[in-house]
């Protein structure tokens, strides 16, 4: 079992292709089953294990794991939902010489290993499987899912079972799948760990990866406030939102944050206040990123300001909040300067419509259509450009409080203005800092606390 930061996130079809490219399918199942067996043996501490096996290769992994546990002298029973149907599963089942109980009335055990369905689940579970599975998972003191909890759709993260039970541990085989990073599937999985199978990084190198902590250097010895990144924020109707973005930008490492417009003088004294007589005041060549949207309002003045910034194409832009409702996405592909869009689900729908597929698919489609970096915020946040996507699986649901999106916008703008990597890398760095600050804040914090926490979060890197 190893950690999963930065690793690929691979669809069921891509996983099958990587498995075929590897060639030694029996060897892969052996590693998978043994990896599960080793993990379960450590955690079971001698308690009886019940392995539930399905008809496909997920079931095959279960038979291998059960055989390994038995060979290690562990108490283990096997129950099945169906006879093995794939050749690999038949071969694995043939090596399990103990009894195989039918699922319906099998006695529960302290340790439950669910090897019923993995990436091959193709339809909702019948009650004949779902009911005993739920009973056995709930009766166990530790339930472990092999690859995925049975009942989870691999590529969408949807639940194909009612009242899905919760597992303590999910052992992803070979690579993470989308369901390991998407809700609602993720909330049923408990801790998620990877069992490496030796598949080549090349075969797995899909376009989607888990986020990893950014590498952010301290300012150069000869740095000055402008070289650290100057962030300009356009103020609209709700100045508090813009102030949160400005403070977050400074605490994420920007050297200078200026509010353009009437924001009153509240907030940290370090924030510079400038009038916004006309948009020409935003022509300052030292500006590294302009934020427009937090608290902007949706009136004609706001619309005109956004249109002017997009048409000017003078600075990298971070477009959030109200500005997303005013944005014509067709104006984006022609720009030279990078644009980062940070919609939550409602804003995403307003700009791009419903879309189809998972949030990963939808973010990628939006990025392809606009050429912008799209940060699709939510419980899972997806950062996508035309070529790839980075996924942050969330963590602290206390982030669901007003103003935390404004803080994120400021953090991303600081990374963009400070030139911390390419625009997608800068956006991912901002998402990581924001989520880590949220983790540090704990419970029932407010957006101001989150902005404050960015200083120590940045210091932790």
Interface residues toward ligand ADP, by CB under 6 A: 321, 344, 377-379, 381, 394, 396-397, 399-400, 402-406, 408, 434
Strands of the sheet containing 142-146, edge to edge, are 100-102, 76-80, 49-53, 111-115, 142-146, 169-173, 191-195
Q: Is 283 annotated as ligand-binding?
A: no
Closer Cβ to ligand ADP, 338 or 405, answer by number: 405
Phi, psi at 131, each rounded to 5°: -65, -55
For residue 369, say if its preceding peptide bond is cis, omega within 30 degrees of 0.
Answer: no
Which residue from 26, 83, 85, 198 is in contact with ligand NAX, where contact means CB under 6 A?
85
Which structure tokens are listed for 248? Answer: 């977050």
Closer Cβ to ligand ADP, 320 or 361, answer by number: 320
Binding to K ion (CB under 5 A) within 109-128 occurs at: 114
Q: Is 58 annotated as ligand-binding?
A: yes
Does 114 interact with ligand NAX (rule: CB under 6 A)?
A: no
Judged by beta carbon distances under 5 to 8 A according to partner kind, the member of ligand ADP, K ion, ligand NAX, none in contact with residue 114 is K ion
User: Could you give the CA distance from residue 370 to residue 352 in angstroms, rounded to a whole number?
Assistant: 10
Q: Compute and round to an integer the Cα radius of gyration of the chain.
A: 25
Q: Is 57 annotated as ligand-binding?
A: yes
Binding to ligand NAX (CB under 6 A) within 40-79 occurs at: 54-61
Q: Which stretch binds K ion (CB under 5 A): 8-16, 148-156, 228-236, 268-276?
A: 148-156
Q: Is residue 316 a contact partner of residue 335, using CB atoms and an 8 Å limit?
A: no
Binding to K ion (CB under 5 A) within 206-265 occurs at: none
Q: How far is the CB of 323 from ligand ADP (least distance, A)?
A: 12
Q: How far is the CB of 407 from ligand ADP (least distance, A)?
A: 7
Q: Which stretch binds K ion (CB under 5 A): 86-94, 150-158, 199-207, 331-339?
A: 150-158
Q: How far is the CB of 398 from ligand ADP (least distance, A)?
A: 8
Q: How far is the CB of 27 from ligand ADP (least distance, A)?
A: 39
- Provide the pairing of β-strand 76-80 with 100-102: parallel
**Per-residue CA distances from 219 to 223, 250, 359, 420, 457 (Å):** 6, 13, 35, 11, 16
Q: How far is the CB of 121 from K ion (least distance, A)?
A: 8
Kindly write out the interface string for residues 171-200 of this chain, putting x where it contacts ligand NAX by CB under 6 A and - elsewhere: --xx----------------------x---
- Provide the pairing of β-strand 373-376 with 381-384: antiparallel
Size of the site for ligand NAX (CB under 6 A): 29
- Give strand ranges (E) for 175-261: 191-195, 208-210, 230-234, 256-260
Judged by beta carbon distances under 5 to 8 A according to partner kind, the member of K ion, ligand ADP, ligand NAX, none in contact with residue 422 is none
Closer Cβ to ligand ADP, 44 or 363, answer by number: 363
Q: Is 215 annotated as ligand-binding?
A: no
Does 154 interact with K ion (rule: CB under 5 A)?
A: no
Q: Is 392 annotated as ligand-binding?
A: no
Judged by beta carbon distances under 5 to 8 A according to partner kind, the member of ligand ADP, ligand NAX, K ion, none in contact with residue 388 is none
SS3 at position 337: coil
Which structure tokens are listed for 122? Answer: 């193709």
Cβ count within 10 A of residue 22: 17
Judged by beta carbon distances under 5 to 8 A according to partner kind, the member of ligand NAX, ligand ADP, K ion, none in contact with residue 399 is ligand ADP
Cα dihedral value 275, 278, 281, 283, nearest 10: 150
**Termini Cα distance of the chain:** 25
Which residue from 64, 146, 241, 360 is in contact with K ion, where contact means CB under 5 A?
146
Q: Which burial class, exposed, middle or buried, applies to 118 when counting CB atoms under 10 A from its CB (0-12, 13-18, 19+)?
A: buried
Q: Which stretch binds ligand NAX (CB under 6 A): 114-122, 229-237, 274-282, 452-460?
A: 114-122
The number of C-alpha atoms within 13 Å of 313 and in the hemisphere containing its C-beta is 8
Closer Cβ to K ion, 59 or 393, answer by number: 59
Binding to ligand NAX (CB under 6 A) within 128-157 occurs at: 146-147
Nearest to 272, CA basis, from 230, 236, 301, 305: 230
Which residue from 150, 252, 358, 457 is in contact with K ion, where contact means CB under 5 A?
150
Q: Name every residue whose Cβ is closer than 8 Å to that of residue 453 and which is 6 or more positions away in sequence.
A: 437, 438, 440, 441, 445
- Residues engaged in binding ligand NAX (CB under 6 A): 15-16, 19, 28-29, 32, 54-61, 85-86, 117-123, 125, 146-147, 173-174, 197
Please give the annotated binding residues for AMP, written as ranges: 377-381, 405
């Amino acid at each position: 079992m190893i950690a999963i930061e930065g690793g690929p996130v691979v669809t069921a079809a891509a996983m099958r292709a990587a498995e075929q490219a590897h060639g030694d399918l029996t060897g892969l199942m052996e590693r998978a089953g043994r990896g599960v067996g080793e993990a379960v043996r450590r955690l079971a501490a001698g308690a009886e294990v019940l392995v539930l096996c399905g008809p496909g290769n997920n079931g095959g992994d279960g038979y291998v794991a059960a055989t390994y546990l038995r060979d290690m002298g562990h108490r283990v029973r096997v129950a099945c939902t169906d006879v093995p149907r794939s050749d690999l599963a038949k071969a694995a089942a043939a090596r399990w010489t103990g009894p195989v109980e039918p699922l319906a009335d099998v006695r529960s055990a302290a340790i439950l290993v669910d090897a019923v369905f993995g990436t091959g689940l193709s339809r909702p579970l019948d009650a004949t499987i779902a009911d005993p599975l739920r009973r056995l998972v709930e009766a166990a003191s530790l339930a472990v899912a092999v690859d995925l909890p049975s009942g989870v759709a691999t590529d969408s993260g949807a639940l194909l079972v009612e009242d899905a039970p919760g597992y303590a541990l999910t052992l992803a085989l070979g690579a993470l799948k989308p369901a390991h990073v998407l809700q609602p599937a993720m909330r049923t999985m408990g801790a998620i760990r990877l069992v490496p199978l030796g598949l080549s990084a090349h075969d797995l190198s899909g376009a989607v990866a888990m986020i990893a902590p950014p590498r952010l250097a301290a300012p150069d010895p000869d740095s000055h406030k402008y070289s650290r990144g100057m962030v300009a924020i356009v103020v609209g109707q709700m100045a508090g939102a813009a102030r949160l973005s400005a403070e977050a930008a400074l605490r994420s490492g920007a050297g200078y944050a200026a509010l353009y417009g009437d924001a009153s003088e509240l907030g940290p004294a370090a924030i510079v206040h400038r009038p916004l007589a006309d948009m020409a005041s935003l022509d300052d060549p030292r500006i590294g990123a302009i934020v427009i949207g937090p608290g902007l309002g949706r009136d004609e003045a706001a619309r005109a300001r956004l249109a002017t910034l997009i048409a000017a194409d003078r600075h990298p832009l971070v477009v959030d909040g109200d500005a997303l409702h005013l944005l014509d996405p067709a104006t984006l592909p022609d720009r030279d300067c990078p644009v980062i869009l940070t919609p939550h689900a409602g804003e995403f729908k307003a700009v791009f419509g419903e879309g189809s597929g998972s949030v990963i698919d939808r973010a990628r489609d939006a990025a392809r259509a606009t050429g912008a970096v799209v940060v699709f915020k939510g419980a899972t946040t997806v950062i996508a450009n035309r070529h790839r996507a980075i996924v942050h699986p969330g963590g602290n649901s206390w982030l669901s409080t007003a103003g935390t999106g404004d803080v994120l916008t400021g953090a991303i703008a600081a990374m963009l203005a400070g030139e911390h990597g390419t625009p997608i890398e800068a956006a991912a760095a901002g998402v990581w800092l924001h989520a880590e600050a949220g983790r540090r804040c704990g419970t029932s914090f407010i957006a101001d606390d989150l902005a404050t926490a960015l200083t120590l979060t940045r210091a932790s890197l």
